[in-house]
Structure 1
């Protein structure tokens, strides 16, 4: 990279505290020794100016760096949040439209177009068309659209809330297109795994995608820490505990409906894999 000189200091000056501060802030830099001086370098002129200002304020480093260096700014309004998270909002909007069109899974006339397998109701039974027949007919969208189907307001509200929370983090750190690619990829994996586990059945929801986004943020953060992926304490543990509870069958026994455990596990494994790849690439970069 083309390095920009930030400042030159005598060798007697202890830069240890300030260097630790830069590392904790994830600032790319290097220090070299030239002509009896230590020279601090960064990749860009703009960053160089910011680092100079930071050194003027905290030459010895600062244990409360997050508070000390956080600029005072107004919290963006709702419109501002939508602009900053337009892809997250777009996915949620499509999900809401599908919920309205399918009447939260009660309108079978529209629901059958979005399920993993096409089906027809004959009496009290749903007769499913083999998946390969639907794909051969060009209905490839069925591999993804179950992620948009929700059964009930609580199902929709919980999934929507978590997608807004996790999706915005990934969009902020890696961009809207990457969030879309990850969402579709996790949706595909979770749908295929759920189908392989449950066979012909009705299933849907963003929960498989959510576990994918969670796994992505979790592993990425372990390998290449970034403020965007720093989840509140206990979130990962809570989601994993909930996954174990669902796997135990307690939810089914209590009569709260069937849980798509295959989708959850498939999404989580896929998310951990992408988080591993993304974290390693970011760490190398």
Structure 2
């Protein structure tokens, strides 16, 4: 369905209330900055006309009634959300495929090709190479691919849910290419941080990327407030508290497995930096 520009307004016009109303009504939409204006897009001319009428009546988003009946099917089901967030969905699909190939983190023959450094297992011992030897053989994909490895169903479920929650916010606000660039950057930064802190080791998961996305939304929102990056109350506190709890070493002490804390911190700091740069740039364009 063709996207239609519903509104073209000055950058200093506050659309947050109206966008919140569209979200409550389940109306698919996108706001972009183009040519010194903010442009509201929706799929289809019929929906566009109804949204224009709604804005004329409730520009601040203060409306209790629903849109006319033809708009009701626009309420987002899972399939519609997947189609509306193709990059977020693609990253998760690739993660699920790797999870299947690596047999939930048990197939070390497959994991060996995706880990940050190469390794071999001899009996109960694992022997890891150093990064310069791995990159010297041209295996540059290893700088990114550890983010796709997950060890167990709980590890996969938690990371997937948070990537879906944070990734689609960024894809909505900054587009698929923006999310792709940030995902790769945070994956690279978190992997290097973990290697720098612990040396050659076997680690994986999207959690470093997730803390990068969290930091990006957090700082960006403080500098350039927008509905997409407004996180639910308590989410930031909960994730930062979880990070601090993991850094105490309690999970290693209880023999639940090692936590890649350096990857989390590296991703978070990098995300705060990109959020700072993005938020400052957004403020300058207003």
**TM-score with structure 2 setting the length:** 0.79
Shift in CA distance, 45/130, structure 1 to aligned 2, threshold 3 Å: closer
5+ long unaligned stretches in structure 2: 1-7, 19-35, 42-48
SS of residue in 1 equivalent to 2:127 = strand
> 2:273 is matched with which residue?
273
5 Å-filtered alignment, 1:11-90, equals 22-23=13-14, 25=16, 43=37, 57=57, 65=61, 67=63, 73=72, 74-90=74-90
Q: Deviations over 1:117-170 (max 9, x none)?
A: 100112221111221111111100011010000000000000000001100100
Counterpart-to-counterpart distance in 2, 1:92 and 1:277: 27
How far apart are residue 70 of structure 1 and its match? 8.4
Counterpart-to-counterpart distance in 2, 1:202 and 1:120: 11
SS of residue in 2 equivalent to 1:120 = strand
> 1:18 is matched with which residue?
none
The 4+ residue runs of structure 1 with deviation greater than 2 A are 21-27, 42-47, 49-58, 65-74
CA contact (8 A) 2:131 2:200 kept: no
> 1:246 is matched with which residue?
246
**TM-score with structure 1 setting the length:** 0.79
Counterpart-to-counterpart distance in 1, 2:189 and 2:40: 42
1:135 matched to 2:126: no
> 2:24 is matched with which residue?
none
> 1:30 is matched with which residue?
none
SS of residue in 1 equivalent to 2:201 = coil
SS of residue in 2 equivalent to 1:127 = strand
SS of residue in 1 equivalent to 2:14 = helix
How far apart are residue 226 of structure 1 and its match? 0.9
Counterpart-to-counterpart distance in 2, 1:162 and 1:87: 15
> 1:99 is matched with which residue?
99
Structure number with larger C-alpha Rg: 1
5+ long unaligned stretches in structure 1: 7-20, 28-41
